[in-house]
Structure 1
Amino acid sequence: MSDNQSLIENRPPSVANLFLERVEETPDGEAYRYPVPSASGEGPDDWRSYTWAEAAQRVFAVAAGLMDLGVRPEERVAIASNTRVDWILCDFGILCAGAATTTVYPTTNAEETAYILADSDSRVLIAEDAEQLAKARERRAELPDLAHVVVIEAADAVAAEDDPEDWVLSLDELRRRGAAYLEKNPEAVRKSVAALRSDQLATLIYTSGTTGRPKGVRLPHDAWAYMGKAIPATGLVRPDDLQYLWLPLAHVFGKVLTAAQIEVGHATAVDGRVDKIIENLPVVRPTYMAAVPRIFEKVYNGVSAKARAGGGAKYKIFTWASAVAREYARTTQDNFRRTGTASAPAGLRAKHAVADKLVYAKIREAFGGRLRACISGSAALAPDIGFFFSGAGIHVLEGYGLTESSAASFVNPGEAYRTGTVGKPLPGTEVRIAEDGEILLRGPGIMQGYHGLPEKTEEVLEPDGWLHTGDIGELSADGYLRITDRKKDLIKTSGGKYIAPAEIEGQFKAVCPYVSNILVYGADRNYCTALIALDEPALMGWAAEHGMEQRGYAEVVASEEVRELVDGYVRQLNEGLQRWQTIKKFRVLPRDLDIEHGELTPSLKLKRPAVEKKFGHLIEEMYEGAREK
């Protein structure tokens, strides 16, 4: 048995135990870095830090405060907040109190927030601000078990006249109560952590619901302890790393990153404001970060648009450098697979060196200049975009997992990563491919089931622990997994040909620098069509170059010029497809898809049914008069 395997198998029952071990081992080490407005109120934020000892003081105060409010082991405490350092400290406070965290996206409306709070039987809600407090207050009649709302931003913790006593508290008040509780019971939190069982409920994460009501995924303490040990065992993270964490912590992908950090002990800079990423990266200068594919697509589109705006010569250089990056990445990855050395022929190395000075170095600098790797998950990354960043020295390691598997089941192994795959399984995770191509997983990260939904649990979880992922994939001889599509998203044309829409959509994103989202259709039809949404900043940059700067986005996107622009990229896409895969007709959507209109989940996944419902008339238009077989 390897040392890593032994460590994983002999893991403690909970990540709360790992947290206490980390605090004891490096109390003065930097744990978290967080932004505060500058003293002048102008200019960039200042960044401050908590050591592990300071973080523990806050975690213990939250844990003891919850005990003082009467929260008992496995009772649920919900968090409705954007990603911020308080989210992490409150989450560990909940776990150290023996309770379980229910995660709620701050963008969730009042009705669905109430549904999650009621379905989870949450006793306390930790709300970020007045907006989150208002959602709970609006639906209080539906939430008889919700005894308290703790508000992080203290100025917003204002009780209404008809609120029950102590229904609204500030986070500062909760911590003060916790400090008083610890004075009387100094060992309360340590005793609570010592009593934790590995099978005890730690987290209820509600799936973001691409269809229907969200389901609560029950993840035990053992799942997070396993992730805390297994991710570092891959060599992905190091003690001297600085992580930049902006992903939604209500999503399993964001949350799993907090478990891996504790085992290794490196620092994490936390700021969930997506509009601050570009500003923060050169300031924080992280060594690794995780992101979803849409972020890489936006960066690629932005760099491409900037080059185009710089004139014909600059755009020609960028186009050439992009091709060199992709060729270099494919060549070095192929050679590493065959020989163990990421080598390239001398001529290609020379071209790459020139392109690096002209283009790639600036891209790396925009990411802070120290980035060793990016982890991409939550959805598929178009391989051409992955190869571009790889060749530019931004190593995007794709991973794979589900909420039902605690996020991290597969990840690409450092230097040996292969773009277009999601890498190898984590130590301790088993995988097999079913006869129909479905990926099945088994291991300590797998959920206990869906909360209160035994029938739904039985549909995906076999008695012997195998989880049906609903994804179709292929395993290479040496264990790398490639996801080909969602099982339910595979479509069959009326001509009997099977098509994977995600594959075509990914190729189009690599071809067209203006696309934001694309959805391919063709099930039971005799040809494929597409709905295409365009990225506003990139498109408006193009519009300004073509004498349309006085027009608004809605007018530009509806213009014949844009239709012709997109048609050119669709033709380019079709050249690389089989005849039955080609896009015969398309429609450009009048606006981009977004979370607010319910077309994207908070982790930026497409909700296909929502898009089809809203824009179904455009789909039907494209098939009007078509002769079906």
Structure 2
Amino acid sequence: MNFIKEYNKTAIIYDGKEISYRDVIRNAKCFSETIQMNPGDRGIIYMENRPEFLYSFLGIWEKRAIAVCLDATLTSDELIYYIEDSESSCIFTSKQNVSNVNLALEKMGKSIKVIVVDELQCDNYVVKENEQFIKAPEKEDVSLMLYTSGTTGKPKGVMLTFDNILVNVEGLDKYNMFIPEDVVLALLPMHHIFPLLGSGVIPLAKGGTIVFLKEISSQAMLDAFQKYKVTMMIGVPRLWEMLHKKIMEKINSGKITKSIFKLAQKINNINTRKKIFKKVHETFGGNLRFLVSGGSKLDGQISKDFLTLGIQICEGYGMTETAPMISFTPINEIVPGSAGKILPGIEVKIDSDGEILARGRNVMAGYYKRPEETAKTIDNEGWLHTGDLGNIENGYLYVTGRKKEMIVLSNGKNINPVEIEQWIMGRTDLIQEMAVSEIDSVLTAVIYPNFQKIIDENITNIKETLKWGIIDKYNSKAPNYKKILNIEIVQEELPKTKLGKIRRFMVPGLLQKNKQDVQDIIEPDFEEYRILKDYLEKLKNKKISPVAHLELDLGLDSLDIVELMSYMESEFGVKPDDAIIVNNPTVEKLAEYIKNNKSANRFEKLNWKEYLSKDTDITLPTSNIALHIIKFLLWLSFKIYIRVSCSGLENIPKNKPVIFVGNHQSLLDGFIFGHVLPFRYLQNSYTVAKVKHFSKGYMKFLAAHSNVILVDINKNLGEMLQTSAKILRNGKNLVIFPEGARTRDGKMLDFKKTFAILSKELDVEVVPFGIKGAYEAFPTGKTIPRPSKVQIKFFNAVKPEGKTYDEIVKESRDEIKQWVEK
């Protein structure tokens, strides 16, 4: 059969140049003439995406030989394995890659034909009028060999017959997925079967136009959509996730756009949705028919949101061994979360353990020279074991996870890490990448943050923000066995395949590498670095590397940052500003900043007494009417539903300010405290709270009329400390929950020492109080408290005289802990 023929139109656009079908056929035949190959011989294609890749591919097919497509980023040492394993007789490569080829052959002591495609001259090559076509291989011919990624061993050559490919083409033809009017943007590297067929071979077979980009960037991609009126593009979920985030950020930035989006969700008409979001479609050139996603599972919410925008993402599922498709989503039949319908002529069944099995014309001929490996993958009944888990509902295939990636706990429970990752990633833009894994028998989230977003939002306490603001939201909804109990933050991207799949087996190694001492790093040789390094080594009592991240590697908390900023002001005359730490997060970068911005305006070293004496613009609330109302409204509930009992009120010193310090069990804690405290104390007791909790509506009113002082604790601990000191200097009491977060398991967290600094420097006694039973009554994640008994007890005041900060913290916490955990 004639596979590629003359369509009298543009076949490929590259670097601004339009290449006709006639030219593609001529160049492919010319390339074919440069090689001596017999049917069944193998020829390697080792180059970047460009027209010559397809000329080489079709040229090999002209000889009824086998095209072996390799990753263009392979090193010369890596290339040796593939040359030897494939037993190829020639290599098509580019000027960019030929040095690697020559070096590999030299190391092997081997000589085979090397064709540098940049040097071939085909302009004068003549093709007869009756030969303006490229013939397809015979159905039974092995015509393509691609290598698996080799994540669990050496890469294996997957032998695909032309019939394996043809059944995919026929399946797509049934749904008219490719039409001659298509302009396909080819971004993904063509050594993968998915883009090779979908962005290369099939568009040419159907008379479409392929656009190759010489430079790969988001701007170049958008420019191509506009300039060439692209109708479809194949991508991996990671690409659609990034686009989705950018689009949804704009939509969610305004009330009107959010309302329009919600309205569009209710309109079940794709054309109407396209009109509503006309601007989005114009960004994509205005001619987009659909997008294609493959390589791994796409989050169903992303597919759903794109559908609301009037953009269809047709998701497919398969593997190299099935050339590549097992299922595909037809246009206008999108079911978000599914991998589409089973292709015609292919059988699929779900095995007893949930594994997806496939059988049919798409199944490979086997692994090259590996009959035993082939037998492990294809059983004696012809079923190919995909290694993926899934189910079939209403004719649609749903892929639920990778068999080898499932985490099996000691209690036999199975956890699909992808589901957890998608849930979390879909609800924050502070995480760039993450992998959930069981490390040291603990379910752990390994996170590569979006550092640019962290800089934009001026976040200095990255780990705390991710732990309590993001991971904790997931944990509050997850069953106990699925809760993430530890997070590890890395400063480099997670290891991935070329199609963006995380190589999970390499993640523990990445963590181990990060924990090892950094070797062979030349330390900066300037005074500011040496002084800063000495200060940090004494502060944290550990060896300092120039690339160490101040928070993630050295563990500097908010209080450490306050001390560091004060030290920089006293030692170098650098004016304190939280943005300095955000924008210069490593030791070396901070030292460079100090070097370039130091001045003679130096101050005395940090003196907490003087620091706390600085006044702030904060005005104490003049009304506490909300305290009366809340106390009245909750009185009956705390008597008969949540039965609160109190002891130790006699331990509260009279006629002088104190710092009340308690453990934090639930959202009820503040109300319980207010319920039991006599009003003579309560009306003079103030709480410093996070702005974000009281920024809107009735909560804002509540704060203004109930002795709550609002500061941005996450971004300005110094302001919080000075505000607290002002409250105490005014003769008022201060209420603090120094754990900084509610308990998630009933056990007490460590106390932060801010209250101890206030106590010692202002000579104010600390009154510890313990709350017991509130966690059982209203644990994190519950929406309604349950009937229960709660106790609150006030202990003897801790006097700061003669004690260190740590001693004040320990005495206060130990008193509470012994009683709470009794």
Give the TM-score normalised by structure 2.
0.58
Aligned-residue offset at 1:262: 3.7
Deviation at 1:188, TM superposition (A): 10
Distance in 2, matches of 1:198 and 1:146, equals 32
**Residues in 1 aligned to 2:293 and 2:81: alpha-carbon distance in whole angstroms:** 31
How many angstroms does 1:109 deviate by? 2.0
CA distance in 1 between counterparts of 2:214 and 2:154 reads 25
Give the aligned partner of residue 390 of structure 2.
473
Query: Which amino acid is the alignment partner of residue 281 of structure 1?
Result: F
Cα distance in 2, alignment partners of residues 318 and 586 from structure 1: 35
Q: Name the residue aligned to 2:571.
A: none
Partner of residue 366, structure 1: 283
Q: Answer whether contact 1:117 1:143 (CA < 8 A) is retained.
A: no
CA apart distance, 1:148: 2.0
Measure how far apart 1:198 and its partner are.
2.0
SS of structure 1 residue aligned to 2:3: helix
- The CA RMSD over aligned residues, in Å, is 3.1
Deviations 1:15-55 (A, max 9, x none): xx322xx33xx3x1332222x2xxxxxxxxx3x32222221
1:583 aligns with 2:499: no
Cα separation, 2, equivalents of 1:301 and 1:319: 14
Whether the aligned pair in 2 keeps the contact of 1:417 and 1:423 (CA below 8 Å) is yes
Alignment of 1:39-54 (within 5 A): 46=16, 48-54=17-23
Letter in 2 for 1:90: S
CA distance in 2, matches of 1:387, 1:240: 27
The aligned residue for residue 534 of structure 1 is: 449
Q: Which residue of the other structure, out of 86, 89, 93, is the alignment partner of 2:52?
A: 86
Query: Cα distance, 1:318 vs. partner?
Result: 5.8
Flag the 1:619–1:473 CA change in 2: closer, same or farther, 3 A.
farther
Q: 1:290 aligned to 2:227?
A: no
Deviations, residues 77-103 of structure 1 (Å, cap 9, x unaligned):
111112122211211111112221111
* Aligned residues of 1:410 and 1:425 also touching (Cα < 8 A): yes
Corresponding position of 1:607? 503
2:409 aligned with 1:493, yes or no? yes
- The 8 Å contact of residues 376 and 396 in structure 1, kept in 2 or not, is answered as yes
Deviations 1:284-308 (A, max 9, x none): 2211111100101111233455678
CA distance in 2, matches of 1:460, 1:82: 31
The SS at the match of 1:379 is coil
Task: Give the Å deviation of 1:145.
Answer: 5.4
Find the partner of 1:29 among 3, 9, 12: 9
**Helix, strand or coil at the partner of 1:601:** coil
Report how far residue 414 of structure 1 moved: 1.2
Counterparts in 2 of 1:212 and 1:319: CA distance versus 1, 3 Å: farther
Mapped contact 1:206–1:216 kept (Cα < 8 A): yes
Q: 1:149 is paired with a residue of what secondary structure?
A: strand
Q: For 2:197 and 2:476, how far apart are their aligned partners in 1?
A: 41
Query: CA distance change for structure 1 residues 29 and 465 in 2, over 3 Å: closer, same or farther?
Result: farther
Alpha-carbon deviation of 1:480? 0.2
The question of 1:108 aligning with 2:77 is answered no
When residues 307 and 563 of structure 1 are mapped into structure 2, their CA distance, relative to the original with a 3 A threshold, is farther
Cα distance between partner residues in 2 of 1:129 and 1:29: 29
| 2:120 pairs with one of 171, 174, 177 | 171
Give the letter for the 2:484 counterpart. I
Equivalent positions of 1:53-452 (< 5 A) are: 53-66=22-35, 70-130=36-96, 132-143=97-108, 146-152=111-117, 154=118, 170-172=119-121, 175=122, 179=125, 193=135, 196-257=137-198, 258-271=200-213, 273-275=215-217, 276-304=220-248, 314=253, 327-328=265-266, 332=268, 360-452=277-369
User: What secondary structure, in the 3-state scheme, does the structure 2 residue paired with 1:119 have?
Assistant: helix
Identity across matched positions, percent: 26
Q: Deviations over 1:120-176 (max 9, x none)?
A: 11221111223x212122221454555122223x3xxxxxxxxxxxxxxx233xx48
Q: How many positions carry a matched residue from both structures?
A: 515
CA distance, structure 1, for counterparts of residue 132 and residue 68 of structure 2? 20
Instruction: Give the Cα–Cα distance (whole angstroms) in 2 for the partners of residues 511 and 322 of structure 1.
Output: 17
Distance 1:403 1:603, change over 3 A: same
Q: Measure how far apart 1:521 and its partner are.
A: 1.6
Q: Which amino acid in structure 2 is aligned with residue 126 of structure 1? A: F
Measure, in 1, the Cα distance between the counterparts of 2:353 and 2:446: 29
Letter aligned with residue 120 of structure 2: L
In 2, distance between residues paired with 1:231 and 1:171?
35
Letter in 2 for 1:71: M
- For 1:228 and 1:101, the matched residues in 2 are separated by 18
Secondary structure of the 1:414 match is coil
Q: Residues 123 and 574 from structure 1, CA distance in 2 versus in 1: closer, same or farther, beyond 3 angstroms?
A: same
How far apart, CA to CA, are the structure 1 residues paired with 2:313 and 2:471? 27
Question: Which of 451, 456, 472 pairs up with 1:571?
Answer: 472
Query: Contact 1:493–1:523 (CA<8 Å) still a contact in 2?
Result: no
CA contact (8 A) 1:18 1:225 kept: no
Alignment deviations for residues 451-507 of structure 1 (CA, whole Å, 9 cap, x no partner) = 11111111001233221100001001x310000001111112223321111111122
Distance 1:63 1:480, change over 3 A: same
Larger Rg: 2
Give ranges in structure 2 of 5+ residues lacking alignment: 517-551, 553-744, 746-822
Tell me how far apart the structure 2 counterparts of residues 211 and 426 of structure 1 sit (CA, whole Å): 29
Deviation at 1:528, TM superposition (A): 2.3
Q: Secondary structure at the match of 1:139?
A: helix
SS at match of 1:511: coil
The CA distance in 2 between the partners of 1:451 and 1:322, in whole Å, is 51
Residues 146 and 191, structure 2, Cα contact 8 Å, conserved in 1:
yes
How far apart are the structure 1 equivalents of 2:400 and 2:414?
12
Cα deviation, 1:528-572, whole Å, max 9, x if unaligned, reads 22101134xxx41451342x7xxxxxxxxxx42464146412223
Structure with a larger share of its residues in helix? 1
Q: CA deviation at 1:247?
A: 1.4
Q: Which residue of 2 aligns with 1:339?
A: none
Task: Indicate whether 1:517 and 2:486 are aligned.
Answer: no
| Cα distance, 1:422 vs structure 2 | 0.5
Contact 1:78 1:101 (C-alpha < 8 Å) held by counterparts: yes
Distance 2:207 2:104 in 1: 41
SS in 2 for 1:370: coil
Q: 1:279 to 1:171 in 2, by over 3 A?
A: same
Runs of 4+ in 1 over 4 A off after TM superposition: 142-146, 186-190, 304-308, 315-325, 616-621
1:151 is aligned with what amino acid?
V
Q: Is the 8 A contact 2:32 2:63 kept in 1?
A: yes
Q: Which runs of 5+ in 1 are unaligned?
A: 1-11, 37-45, 155-169, 309-313, 333-341, 549-558, 594-598, 622-626
Counterpart-to-counterpart distance in 2, 1:603 and 1:264:
25
Deviation at 1:429, TM superposition (A): 1.4
Q: Aligned partners of 1:363, 1:213: CA distance in 2, in Å?
A: 44
Aligned AA (1:464): E
